[in-house]
Structure 1
């Protein structure tokens, strides 16, 4: 189940995959897929199920089919490191994607630009569109609302019995929305909301607005 919100009079849909759809401009925002990470770890002996590779591409296909965007914008760290076998899978996936693909470069995006040029993926360090700023690292710039990733935000919830649950989340500040990591095995950085911060947790196939008092029970 998705959640639809308004930011600066425009409509955005938060999807349980971790993707965010900008409805007014038909743009799908996805952050921190970290393609190649599973293959990289398995190559170095880390026991990660190989089907995690196919899950990443399956998730990408499903969310693109769901929204049918005109553009897919990856907010950095599309790939975890240098090219490996998953690059060829991405080439195949991009060939089947009818939407324009754009990459906002992140700190992990070290694959040479000419590789993306060959498959018509446009690359930018940041994009400013209609008062919204798309970046990888969260930044604040006066007069702009920032969509970013990098942090892999999560929220820790505690019940009355002391049990805890850590979930990925969309973390919204006054002029900023940090998207959760989209990829498998990417981890979470637990955020603590303050003031008017809004937290939209992802619980299985549902996006849930978390009341601040629930996340504050641990203190």
Structure 2
């Protein structure tokens, strides 16, 4: 689904990524690499294959778009280095696109480790009246694209059926991307009248309006 702000056009993808055609760039929030291994190390009985889902999704979206850049909107890794760091290193070495990490609150791995892999590490990115961050921010005269919240929406059916889906959460001055990671949970959104929610399924992005 297309989304326009001023003269800028974006495409919301069912994976939770946001494609920026004029920059040939893909924006991805909250992958949380290493989260599964982190919980397994602390005694949670989680199958290791769950952590590999993030790499599968990344490969799938990168194959779909002919990109020049991937911009990670923070929380690329969940905590300290674990087995996923070696997998990530191998994955990065196979890519031929520019990568930028906007640091999030979970990104406690030293920036130089990412820079050694060729990633650019920044606190935010500004392009005209658009600024990209990890945490949602409000800045007069700017439109903010961010992550952090892991937004989700609860769909309710007539027979008391309920379904929680990840979503893009749009305000007049801001777009919050869904978490890309496979093991991240949801913060359920209750939009106001002037806000919109775009739920994502495996193949579609749909406005709840």
Matched residue, 1:217: none
CA shift at 1:39, angstroms?
0.7
State the alpha-carbon separation in 2 of the partners of residues 142 and 67 from structure 1. Answer: 33
Please state whether the residue corresponding to 1:208 is helix, strand or coil. Answer: strand
1:140 matched to 2:138? The reply is: yes
Matched residue, 2:186: 188
Instruction: State which of 143, 153, 164 in structure 2 corresponds to 1:166.
Output: 164
Instruction: State which of 95, 98, 101 in structure 1 corresponds to 2:99.
Output: 101
State the alpha-carbon separation in 2 of the partners of residues 130 and 75 from structure 1. Answer: 18
CA shift at 1:82, angstroms?
0.4
Please state whether the residue corresponding to 1:24 is helix, strand or coil. Answer: helix
CA shift at 1:44, angstroms?
1.4
Is there any run of 5+ residues in structure 1 with no aligned partner, and where? 212-219
1:151 matched to 2:149? The reply is: yes
Give the structure-2-normalised TM-score: 0.97
Matched residue, 2:128: 130
Please state whether the residue corresponding to 2:22 is helix, strand or coil. Answer: coil
Is there any run of 5+ residues in structure 2 with no aligned partner, and where? none
Give the structure-1-normalised TM-score: 0.93
CA shift at 1:170, angstroms?
0.3
Matched residue, 1:8: 6
Equivalent residue pairs, number:
209
Instruction: State which of 24, 29, 32 in structure 2 corresponds to 1:31.
Output: 29
CA shift at 1:204, angstroms?
2.6
State the alpha-carbon separation in 1 of the partners of residues 117 and 83 from structure 2. Answer: 16
